[in-house]
Each structure stands twice: as C-alpha cells, then as structure tokens.
Amino acid sequence: VLYTSGSTGKPKGVMIPHEALTNFLLQMADIPGFGEDDTLLAVTTFCFDIAGLELYLPLIKGAKYYICSTEKKKDIEKLKKEIQRVKPTVMQATPATWMALNLVGWRNEEHVKILCGGEALPKKLRKYFMESHSEVWNMFGPTETTIWSTMKRIEEGEEITIGKPMANTQVYILNKNNMPVPVGVPGELYIGGTGLSRGYYNREDLTKERFIANPFIVGAKMYKTGDVAKWTSNGEINFIGRADNQVKIHGFRIELSEIETRMNEYDQIEQSAVIVSERDGNRQLKAFFVGKNKDTNQKVDLKQLRTYLKNNLPVYMMPNLFVQIDMLPITPNGKINRLELGKYKEHSKDNEKETETKNKPVETIDLKQIQATLLEFWKMIIGNDDIQINDGFFEAGGDSILAVLIVEKIKEYYKCDIKVTHLFEYSNIANLSEFIAEELSKENKLVSVKNSMKAQAEQKEEDELDAYEDCVAIIGLSCQFPGAKNADEFWDNLINNRECANRLTKEQLIEMNIPKGLIENKRFVPIRLSIEGKELFDNEFFSISPKDAENMNPQMRLLLENSWKAVEDAGYVSKTIPNTGVYMSSSNNSYLTSGGMQNDGLIDSSESYVKWLMSQTGTVPTMISYRLGFTGPSFAVHSNCSSALVGLSLAYQNIKAGEIDYALVGASTIHSKNNAGYLYVPGMNFSKDGHIRAFDAKADGMIGGEGVAVIMLKNAKKAIKDHDHVYAMLKGITVSNDGTEKVGFYAPSIKGQSYAIEKMIEKTGINPETISYVEAHGTGTKLGDPIEFKALKKVYEKYTDKKQFCGIGSVKTNVGHLDTAAGLAGCIKLALSLKNRKIPATINYSEANPEINFEDSPFFMTNKVIELEESIRPARVSLSSFGIGGTNVHALLEEYKENEEKNLYSNNKCIIPVSAKNEERLNVYVKNIYEYLLTRQGESLDLQDIAYTLQTGREAMESRTIFCVNSIAELKEKMNLYLNGGQSVIDEAVDELLVNMQKIWMAGKPVDWDSLYTEQAKPKKVSLPTYPFEEKRFWKEEEEIKKQSTMTNSVAAKKVHYLLDENTSSFMQQSYTTRFTGEEFFLKDHVINNKLVLPGVVYIEMARAAGQDAIRGNIIGIKNVVWPRPITVEQPRDVRVILDNKHPNQLSYRIVTMENENEVVHSQGKLLYQDKATG
C-alpha cells in the first residue's frame, strides 16, 4: 500500500497488486532497458512511489544497486561526487534534482541513462540534457496506476511530451461526456490496464469516484487522473496540467486543498489559499492567508505557524513562503482568484539591478557589507522581500534547490569555497556572513601567491589541452602482420631490419603439388608474405556456432578478435563504451565461393544464405558491433589500397563532431589460399626477385602480403583527462581523388597526391619543417616512387627551402603491400615510432632511383634507424596511402608526452585480478602476463597502472585468480608459483576493504574497483597482454569446398520445396524427407527452454507442400490438425512427411521422426483438395 496526498487532509492508501508491479518492472527492464550488467543509484525517498522501481528492478534482474545516503541526497555536491564514484548506468530522479545537478556542474560524463519524472520537464532542463548528450526518458504516471504509465525518450528539437503508454496499459483522453476527443483537443486523462491499482484502502467512496467503469472494455475499470492532456499527431500525449487543485512539487503529488485545510484549522487563520510559484525553473509552494484578528492588524507569528504545520503535514507539503494579506482576491463567480495571487508581491527587478552593481571584486572585509549583500541575494532568489538577517533560510522560504542557487551566487561573487552544507550549518544571514568573513580573511593572506600559482597551473593545463584541440588520440591497437603475431613482434621486426617474407624451398613446393615445370621456371618467384594462424578462431568466446565460424570469412574472424584486443589494449571493456563507431575494410576474398554456392548462383537453403552473407564486406563491421555491443555508425569502407586510411578519416570526423566517443578502424587482407608465389611478368609491377626496394635504383615492383590490424581512437582532450594510454595523436587527415587529369585509371597522379598533402598542411597549420619523417606509400615501383616523391617535394618546397631535414621510407619493404590494410601497417609503425622515439630503417635500399634527387629536396632516405632528437618536441610524422583509381589520403601524427607527475594511490598493496572463460585459458593468460613482465625488466613499469588496467580494463569472466602484491617483483614471484601448481590465495594481511574485494572477486561477483581511487589519484591505463583466444582451426580447403558444393548442388537438384529435401516415396508409401540442421532461420529464432523447437506453422507448410507435389494440384484446405509432440533439433535430424489417400478429395498426413527404429508422430491432420476431373 502506497500513501499519497488527500484533498481533505487525510492521506490515501493506494493498494498495488503484485500483477501491476510485475508488469511495470518487466516493462522497465525491456524499455527504457535494464539488465544484469546495469548499475542503479537510488536517490528517491522510500515514501515516494517511484522508489518501487529502485527497490525491485535491480533485484529481479540481478543488477548492482547502490542506495544513496540521506546526507548525500540532501547535499547536491555530495550527490554529484557519489554519481562520479558509483558510475551508475541508470538513475531516476525528479526534474528538480537533475536541475540542481546541472547547477553544480554535473555533465553526465558517466553516460548515465536518465529517468526523469514526478513533475513536468522544463525546456531549460531538456536543453541541458541535450548538451550533455544524455539518453533521457520523460516518465509520467500517478501512484494509482503503479508508478509510471507512459514514457518518452527525449530527443533534440522534438516537442516535450509524456510519450505513449507502456505495455498492457490503455490511455484515454475524454471530454465531459466520456467520449474520446480529437487530436489536438484537450480533455481529461484516464488510464486503464494491468497497472491499475485496486483502489484506496478503506476508502470505498473515493475508490468508486476515481476508479470508474471503462466504457471501451467490458468488465474493466479505468482511473480518472484529474489531469488535462491532448493527443499529438504522432500518437503521443501532451500533458497540459491539472483539472483540479492537485499539483506536483519535486515529484510529490500534492493536494493544495489539503494544505489549506490544515492552515484553516489553525486558530489564528480565517482563510487561506496555496499556489505554486515558479522561479528559474524551480517550483515552490506559496501560502496566502487572512488572519482572524484583521481588525487589529495583528500579524500571525510565522514561526509558530510553521511549527504547527510541521506537526500536521509531511515535510514535502510545507509551503516555502507565507504571505499575510487583508483579503483573498475573488473571481466574478465567487472563487479564489489564484492567478491574481500569482502576481501578488512579486520580487522587484530593482533588487536585481542593485545586486548586479555590487557584483565586483571584494577588496576589504566588511561584515555589514557582507550581510547586506547576502540579504539581497536571499530576497532575489527566494522571492521574499520580508527577510531579516536572523531568519533561517528554510523559514524564509528556501528549499534544497534554492540553496544550490544561493551558494553558486555566493561562490561567483566572493570567490570563496562555500558548499551547500555550509548553508545548513550557518542557517541564517548573520551566521553565514561571519563564516564568509572568516574564509575571506584566510584567503586574503595567501591570495596573491595562490592566484599566481593557480593561474600558472590553469594556464599550463589549458595550454596543454588546447594544443590537442583538433587531435584524436590513438589509445589502443592490435595487429597481425607477416612474421608478427602482435604489435610487439611487429616492432621488433622493424627495429631489427627484418624482411618478413617466407621464401619456399623446392621440397615445400613439391609438397604443395606445384608443377615441376613451374618450379624450374626462372621467372617463378617462390615468395610468401602470409600471417601465421589465419585459420584459427575462438568461436566459443564470441558465442558463435562451429558451423557459422567455418562459414565466416577469415577476415571477419580475425578483425573480430583484433577488435576485442584493441579495446583491451586501450584498457576498456567493450560493453561499457557503446557509443563506438566501427569502420572496417576487407579485401576481395574468395573463401567459400571458389566452388560456387549453388547451381547458377541459386541460394536455396539457409546455409547457402549464411555463406553468402558472411562473404559480404558489409557484414564485417556490423558483426563486430553486434558482438561487442557498439551502437555507433558501423560500415565497410573500400577505396582499394587506401581503404584503411579513408576509414581513419571518417572516424576522425565523427569523433571531432561529437557523434561518437570512440572508434575502431580496422582492415584486413587475407588470401583464401596459401599461395606459393607468383610468375614474374614484366610490366605487372611485381618484384622480379621477391624484394621490395622502395625509392631504390633497383626497384622493379612490389609483393602482395597478408595482414590484419585494428586501432582504437578517442577525442584527444578526453583521453588526456581520462589518463588513457596514448600511442600518438592524429593531428589531421585529408582525402582527395585524382579525377580525370592523369594518363589512365590505374596510374598515380602528382597533382592528386600533392593536393591531399597540401590540404593536410593547410588544415593543421603545421610547418613542414617540424615534420621529422614521412611514411610513404612506397610500393617500390620504378614509376610510382618518383611520382610520390615529386608530389611531396612540390608541396614541402612551397613552405620551406631547407634541405634533407625529413626522413622518408616505407614499411612495405618489411611486410609487403597489404592492400586494404597497407595504410594501417604504416599508421601502426608510426604510432610505435613516436612512442619509442625511433624511426626504423627502410630495408633493401642501396642507392636512389635515378628520377629521385634527395640532395636537392627536403627529404633523405631512412636506410638506418633514426633516434628522434630530444630537442624536437613534440615529434611529428606524416603518412601517405594511395589507392588504385586515385583515392589519396595523407595524415599527420604527433607525439604525446605524458605528464610524469602522479598522485599516489593510498594503499601499499595492489590487487591484480585475472580472469578467463575457463581454467585452461586462465593459465595461459597468467603465463602471458608473467612473460610480459619478464621481458620488460629494466623498463619503468608501474604496479598501480598495471593493477588499475587489469581491474577496470578487462571484462570479468567465469574462471578467476587474484594476486595481492606490493611490488612487481612480488607479482612475478606469485605468478610463477601459480603457474607451477599454486592456488589463488586471498591476502588477509591488508585492510578490510582490500580483503573484501578479493573475496568478492573470487566468489565470481562484480567488484567496484573504481571505489579504490579518487579522481585526483587515479592511475593510468597501460598496454598489457590481451585475452589469449583459444586457437581452434576453421578452414575449408578448395577441394573440400568443391566437394561440398557438388554435394549441395546434388541435394538442390532433388529438392522439392525449401522445406522438403527430396521425394523418398516407395511402391508402398508416399513420403518426403527433410534434414534439419539447426542452422535454419526459423529454428534459430524459435528457442524454448534453451532448445531449438520446430515452429507449428512449419509442420503445416511441409504437409501442404508434400500434398501439393503428390497430387500435382492445389491443396484447398487443412483440418483436424494436432501436434502430439514437438520436434527439437540438437543435432542434424531427419523428418518425414507421410501421406495416405484413403478418402476421395482428401489426404491424411503425419509428420514423423525415428527413435530406436520406432516411428514417432509429431503432427497429423487432413489435406483437402479438389479432383481435377470434377474441378
């Protein structure tokens, strides 16, 4: 039973049935949405009906639930900090609370889903919500229909409405005759449905009055809300106000007449009227009254009146302001004129002007002047001119929202550190003035030093952030390139001048069945630039069936795993960053298509359709978004060799526009066959001897290679503030196309390339003299390299006449030309170069191409490792990627030097949690971290950073272990013991908080790791080993594909109908057989009790199709259908349709399976048809 305000001064108990509450909670879990991964911060008082959502919704979903203390709820500054600490995903509050949070600077950086209700949502508050990019739901509903009854997601530019009814709820807007009103016409709001309460406890008279028969549903009732509303043209409800004397203040439903009843019972009051006064979006109760002794002009003692009302009314029904007047204004029809009362004794604008003139710096501390200033603030903000310096703030008409406004005003004026709690502690002007005077006295002693230091610190921070205004940070990356399974191995290959090609021996070629004549051909180049493990994939990690995994293009599988790794490398959990865009490029790949899908390209089975779908480039990014839970833009990008950097450009633009918070940019080039090399043909741009020689005199062509890479991006300023691990800053990126001004479609263009390069320099405003290195497209061709060099030279010489200050090179000499992934190979090389402040050498270089004159240019060839000079900070490098057809991209990357200053974490020991999907993977993960620590000996590793990254930047999984240590040496020691058979041990010799956290983690429950840190002492995220995926082989060789395709075509040729594989009739029996694999769309989407169950309609269609094929005519009816037993498909299963023609114009059918050689009937019935002879 929930109690709500009553018009006679007697609260009403609303009886809520379980069914109504259950319906409400299930709706909230569905839309707006709440699940087991959510966290709810409860800030509503338990006497408010909406607290029901906070109490029960987390319980039924198994989610996290934090109850905010009364102390924190009352102090809006503390509530703001509590939100920042807890980081709830969902929070419910009234508009007044959200407005107060806005006033103290909360901007929803935690991405809380906001539920706002209890009173009307002001436009001013909607504007604040939209500016903070918040997901906001406007909720409406009276207690009598169980908490909320309608809802609306608030969007920019749309009208503020209360939306549409929730599930199993009916809403009517009726005129005085209880007839529906047209769209746009106001009427009274009625609510019916499952959420309807049973009425008022022990108030049958009132129940009959408000819970009336529903004229639209026989036997049902509906609640007469007393609210006035109208329908909008799109079917939403526009709330107008009350038809009676009821209002909502700070979410509480209040009968004004109830307050008036209590006031009129006071022995010194003759008559009263209460209205709602609104100032700056804050609604207050204002009580007017006429005293009984009006003839003697005796004033009613307001303190005694307040004491009386406090004893007779709930605190939320207490008026803020009291005004004694001689007579209440009356309308012509004899009613109290409340509109006239609203105009009475309004706050004078002169006070405002007077205060504004005083709003200047305080030079001397004068107690009386402070009192006078505060008095003006109180009068202006409370709206009461009758205030004395000894009046309590709340007695003068203040409330918790006005308290925030007054404190903000005092802060702005006096520049002192005053909090809302001080207003409670020093509750009148006299006491508060003394406190402020004392604070100003302290401040004045240090003001010059403090101001100077503060200005310097703020300027330094602002200058640092301003320098990255137009930057996007690369905060995570993952890659697999020839000779490298990860970025560390890739960097090791580059810095050690390794050519990563695999030159096949004669024995290997013979084993691969390469013809002897080809092996002995002098033009045959047996070179391969492949990646290791391209056939491996952890399908169970992503909840993908083995069948689907095998059908997935390997490029999709690898991009999916590397996307996960890039997010972890950045120190994030994918499900906590939904507003992430995905931009993926993949090359032309004939996996699963070389044998042909079906005859004539026909798709006639769900498996064929899945294969076709999984080969589409557009499926790659959307699969990643689906599996990782991203809701930002997700699409494929393709411009041939420049694809990856075009994707990078799109991601850069979307982040800068504020449309997304993060982005994944990825690309892959994976061949469906393990190639054995190529036959060199002059003019085909492939290297004669299997070496790429960028910008070299002997350059004669490239070699195609394989690779997959993903990088993660974020707004640079936010990355710095969030202590992210930044590899490099993307300063700018531009895209152009050659157009028609070149010799042919396949040819490069100096003009097109130079335009992209120059546009980037102009856009960033960077002097080319500050660029230390250019990672060129550098394919190692005789014509392509000189054209690229001339384009660069042409642009740079417009800005400088300096010679040979900028290095040039190409990663293609190490790993080959990776087609769509080529740009990301160069990008990752540069990011690692800036991080390590070294530029790797470009190998296979002896002397310059005759068409290239390095000496007379800004460039020199980087044929050895270059250490970036310490004097050059920040270091800058640029990157080119040019696609066949003319799409050119040029990007500028800049070094980011992290601030070395660090606030220390208060505990001496750190908790290192590690988890995985199973024990075997957990051991591998611990081993990887242990080996990582061993290889980093001598490097400056920070234990706090490692702990924080593994705590907050990895998804918590089923199998877990934990290490509580005070040094990296101890961590290595404990990990070594664990790997040699030791068990996870909870360290009890630490403070209680750390002990409890260890226990909670090992019990498999979620841990609030952020509670260990304050914003000022938060460690940095660092790059650490990512999840060790299980390596299971999913690969179909060409012969297997052809064999399966032939078998599929054979089955397709026999197919009678998409639900009937073949006619298996014999002389004795007419029958049709189908094999269901569980991959069929109608089975995949029909899961009951975790089992795939054949839908009832499928049986009917199978019977109809079988009958139609048997009679070679039309089935005109079906009758007597029964389903004795369902068919479940846990593994491939044969199902038969058996027909029997015992009666004219009628076929009996039964649908059966075989179990232990016995026929099991699953459905049977009769098919009706018309004989052709009589038709």
Question: Closest Cα partner for 464 from 727, 720, 652, 661?
Answer: 720
Q: Which two tokens stand for residue 951?
A: 């705590």
Say how far apart CA 655 and CA 577 lie, in whole Å.
14
Question: 1153 - beta bridge partners?
Answer: 1160
Structural fold of domain 472-894: Peroxisomal Thiolase; Chain A, domain 1 (3.40.47)
Output phi, psi for 941, to 5 deg: -100, 140
3 state SS of 222: strand
- Please answer whether residues 729 and 473 qualify as being in contact, where contact means their C-beta atoms are separated by less than 8 angstroms: yes
Beta bridge partners of 626: none
Considering only the top CATH level, what class is 2-243?
alpha beta
CA distance 952 to 813: 39
Task: Give the pLDDT of residue 294.
Answer: 60
The answer to whether 146 touches 167, Cβ cutoff 8 Å, is no
pLDDT attached to residue 442:
65
* CA distances for 672 relative to 194, 549, 920, 1035, angstroms: 57, 15, 30, 9
According to the model, what pLDDT value does residue 469 have? 84
Q: Is residue 1014 exposed (0-12), middle (13-18) or buried (19+ Cβ within 10 Å)?
A: middle
Q: Which residues pair with 829 in a beta bridge?
A: none
Amino acid identity at 1061: D
The total of other beta-carbon atoms located within 10 Å of residue 340's CB is 13
The Cα angle at residue 252 between residues 248 and 253, in degrees rounded to 5: 55
Give the integer Cα–Cα distance in Å for 344 and 389. 24
- Rounded Cα distance between 115 and 94, Å, is 8
CA 831 to chain centre: 26
Q: For residue 1007, what are the contacts with CB-CB under 8 A and spacing of at least 6?
A: 913, 951, 956, 997, 1000, 1001
Q: pLDDT tens digit string along 669-702?
A: 998 777 788 888 777 788 999 999 999 999 999 9
CATH architecture entry for 249-343: 2-Layer Sandwich (3.30)
> What strands, in cross-sheet order, belong to the sheet with 1133-1143?
1062-1063, 1070-1076, 1133-1143, 1146-1155, 1158-1169, 1115-1122
Distance CA 1073, CA 474 (A): 56
Question: What is the architecture of the domain spanning 910-1019?
Answer: 2-Layer Sandwich (3.30)
For the stretch 1037-1075, what's the b/e string if a residue is b when 16 or more beta carbons lie within 10 angstroms of its beta carbon? eeeebeeebeebbeebeeebbebbbeebbeeeebbbbbe
Per domain, the residue ranges of the chain are 2-243, 249-343, 349-392+417-465, 472-894, 910-1019, 1055-1169
Contact 47, 5 (CB under 8 A): no
Cα-Cα end-to-end distance for the chain: 69
Give the separation between CA 508 and CA 1012, rounded to whole angstroms.
Answer: 57
Three-state SS across 400-465?
Answer: HHHHHHHHHHHHHHHCCCCCHHHHHHCCEHHHHHHHHHHHHHHHHHHHHHHHHHHHHHHHHHHHHH
Two tokens, residue 1003: 């019990």
Q: What is the pLDDT of residue 599?
A: 42
Q: Which pLDDT value is given to residue 1157?
A: 83
Share of the chain residues as helix, strand and coil, in percent rounded to the nearest 5: 35, 25, 40
How far lies 1175's CA from each of 565, 1073, 1113, 1116, in Å?
A: 68, 30, 11, 12
What is the CATH topology of the domain spanning 1055-1169? Thiol Ester Dehydrase; Chain A (3.10.129)
State how far the Cα of 565 lies from the Cα of 487, in Å rounded to an integer: 11
Question: Residue ranges of the chain with pLDDT lower than 50?
Answer: 6-9, 346-364, 445-454, 457, 594-602, 903, 1039-1053, 1173-1175
- Dihedral class, residue 33 (left if φ above 0, else alpha if ψ from -120 to 50, else beta): left
Q: Are 670 and 589 in contact (CB under 8 A)?
A: yes
pTM over 0.85: no
- Before 874, cis peptide (omega within 30)? yes
pLDDT in the model for residue 593:
52
Cβ contact 119:94 at 8 Å: yes
Place of tokens 């050690």: 496
Kind of pairing, strands 838-839 and 866-867?
A: antiparallel
Q: Provide DSSP, 1084-1117.
A: HT-EETTEEB--HHHHHHHHHHHHHHHHTS-EEE
- Reference 554, options 610, 615, 595; nearest CA is 615
**Token couple for 736:** 């152009």
Output DSSP code: residue 342. Answer: H
